[in-house]
Amino acid sequence: MDQFVIKGQKKLSGDLTVSGSKNATLPLLAASLLCKGKTILRNVPDLKDIHTMLNVIKGLGVEYSYNKGLLEINTQHLTTFNAPYELVKTMRASIYVLGPLLAREGKAEVSLPGGCAIGPRPVNLHIETMEKLGAKIKVEDGFIKARANKLKGTQIFFSTVSVGATANLLMAAALAEGETIIKNAALEPEIGELITFLNSMGADIKGINTDTLTITGVNKLNPIDYTVVPDRIEAGTLLIAGIITKSPITIKNINPEHISALLKVVEEMGVILSITGNNIQIKKVGKLSPVYIKTIPYPGFPTDLHPILATLLTTVPGISVINETIFENRFAYIPELIRMGAQIEVDDHIVIIKGTKSLIGADVMASDLRGGAALTLAGLAANKETIVHRIYHIDRGYENLETKLGKAGANIKRIKGQNI
Ligand code: EPU
């Protein structure tokens, strides 16, 4: 397993450019199954999760080629309708093929994802919404086995805001008969992207960027050429890398609106930013103040930035609090930060952080994607050497993280194949 070896307390400088969004690309790959022919996606990040999803759709009979962000997918012929456990267990978003397969083929068999490092993450809403569209579903032998003659429009109110279930429903309803109305739909930019993508393919979805969506089913969707938006969570991570190292870097190629909740928090803490067009420059990181924040669905503070902001807060004098309301177990990074001298604890789902002057380098282990990125940032800020183990978690969602940080002046190296 690869590791990051980081010699901390180096200043960063220059520009860091954000890659295409992982969580926007994943549903687009599934949505390409809704049409027959060649879809082209640009700015697709070279990430483990993207390759897992490509393997899922390849297993269905799709042909593709990927070269430096350019992805060509041929969905003309599907040969099966099964997403196997071997792939789904490594990435839950594989469940995105459920809606498109049901809409196109009238059948889908998708392995149940099983446990997850950040919480139980049930898929009940995905299943219930497909049933409301008229699918017959059995959960059997570890699989969601779904059948439908023709999906029929319906009204759905989500009791919990779910990005994944909203996306799956949008894709299935796009080809259903009649009108589907979704209330309490997720507002995340990745949903906006999916709606724009589907409408460009010929779908009829109204209400983009609101929590009520009306989908009038169409008979056919057509393949398109589409460019993926920049990754808002990567942008937030790179911004915090600059703040934690007190470096005047510029984050390029990001829609600042997509991370407005984070920008508000760091400005409230005392960071001075200059935002122009798609660039965010850190002007000054002086004495920072602690904060209280709660993770909530978009446009609130994103759960995916919780461990990353928490790491910054361990270096900010005073008591800060993060109330994690989305995932039950997003706390595996905490004992690792404690190994680096942080004063941080979790009580129920409330993280309490007492800022210390500086972190101390240590061996730490990533247990999930965002927790791994948080430990990497801790290593950038710490004195001495930090070794982040199990960085395969980070490779799921950050494209060339060590190369980007290294070019900006960080002393970070990937050591290949070390086992612990
Ligand atoms: N939930 C249910 N039942 C369901 C689906 C969700 O109870 O059927 C609950 C979840 O357990 C959670 C809440 O609803 O408590 C929200 O989950 P959501 O469905 O919105 O999450 P997701 O679609 O599985 C996506 C991102 C996550 C991100 C969350 C929240 C992708 C591929 N994943 O997950 O990203 O944390 O939305 O914003 O888009 C990451 O990139 O590191 C990551 C985990």
Strands in 261-420 per DSSP E:
271-276, 279-285, 292-294, 319-323, 343-347, 350-354, 363-365, 385-389, 411-415
In the chain, which segments carry CATH 3.65.10.10? Answer: 3-19+230-415, 22-227
Token readout for 324 is 């994690």
Q: Whose CA is nearest to atom 26 of ligand 1?
A: 23
CB 286 within 8 A of CB 264: no
pLDDT in tens, the chain (420 residues): 899 999 999 999 999 999 999 999 999 999 999 999 999 999 999 999 999 999 999 999 999 999 999 999 999 999 999 999 999 999 999 999 999 999 999 999 999 987 788 888 899 999 999 999 999 999 999 999 999 999 999 999 999 999 999 999 999 999 999 999 999 999 999 999 999 999 999 999 999 999 999 999 999 999 999 999 999 999 999 999 999 999 999 999 999 999 999 999 999 999 999 999 999 999 999 999 999 999 999 999 999 999 999 999 999 999 999 999 999 999 999 999 999 999 999 999 999 999 988 899 999 999 999 999 999 999 999 999 999 999 999 999 999 999 999 999 999 999 998 554
N residues, the chain: 420
Cβ atoms within 10 A of the Cβ of 396, count?
A: 19
Q: Whose CA is nearest to atom 7 of ligand 1?
A: 122
pTM as predicted: 0.97
Cβ atoms within 10 A of the Cβ of 297, count?
A: 19
CB 81 within 8 A of CB 47: no
Strand 271-276 vs strand 279-285: parallel, antiparallel, or unpaired?
antiparallel
Task: Give ligand 1 pocket residues (Cβ under 6 A).
Answer: 23, 26, 92-93, 119, 121-126, 160, 162-165, 186, 190, 302-304, 326-327, 369-370, 397
Active site residues per annotation: 116
Distance CA 348, CA 194 (A): 35
Distance CA 296, CA 251 (A): 24
**What letter would DSSP give residue 69?**
T
Q: Which fold has domain 22-227?
A: UDP-n-acetylglucosamine1-carboxyvinyl-transferase; Chain (3.65.10)
Pocket test for ligand 1, best of 52, 95, 97, 160 (most atoms within 8 A of CB): 160
Distance CA 94, CA 180 (A): 23
Rounded to the nearest angstrom, the distance between the alpha carbon of 164 and the centre of ligand 1 is: 6
> Does the domain formed by 3-19+230-415 have CATH 3.65.10.10?
yes
